[in-house]
Amino acid sequence: MSQKTYQICTRCVMDTSDPDISFDANGQCNHCSEAIRRLEQSYMPDARGQEKLEKLVEEMRRAGRRKDYDCLIGLSGGVDSSWLTYKSKEWGLRPLVFHVDAGWNTPVAEQNI
């Protein structure tokens, strides 16, 4: 029975404790390589991203016509969902915002909610 040699990615923290990991010739793992590939396809902090966002918002407004809401937002009270909720109003959307208090709310989250 062969034993796998311990190796850690030269770019991230992943190592051979993950049975699905593989490394390229530079010692970079398949996981961070895939994440970077996906990021390049979906992260657009430029005019392309702005155009894509505007189309998405318009599509939500159109789908929401004659309805009470344009979209649904789960609000945890953390920075991401709080910011998205704020921006949704700035974009002119009518979100139905819901929150589930599972007993883990922080005081800041409560304030944001």
Q: Which of 7, 11, 78, 84 binds Zn ion (CB under 5 A)?
A: 11
Round to whole Å and give the CA distance between 32 and 12: 7
Segment interacting with Zn ion, rule: CB under 5 A, options 11-19, 58-66, 68-76, 90-98: 11-19
Residue with the two structure tokens 């850690």:
8
Whole-number Cα distances in Å, 73 to 9, 84, 106, 107: 37, 8, 19, 20
Find the shortest distance in angstroms from Cβ 25 to Zn ion: 14
97 makes contact with Zn ion (CB under 5 A): no
- With b for 16 or more beta-carbon neighbours within 10 A and e for fewer, the 10-36 pattern comes to ebeebeeeeeebebeeeebbebebeee
Q: Of residues 2, 3, 7, 12, which one binds Zn ion by CB under 5 A?
A: 12
Residue 37: half-sphere exposure toward Cβ, Cα within 13 Å? 6
Figure out which of the listed residues 21, 32, 84, 93 binds Zn ion, where binding follows CB under 5 A: 32
Nearest distance in Å: CB 2, Zn ion: 23
Instruction: Give residues in contact with Zn ion (CB under 5 A).
Output: 9, 11-12, 14, 29, 32
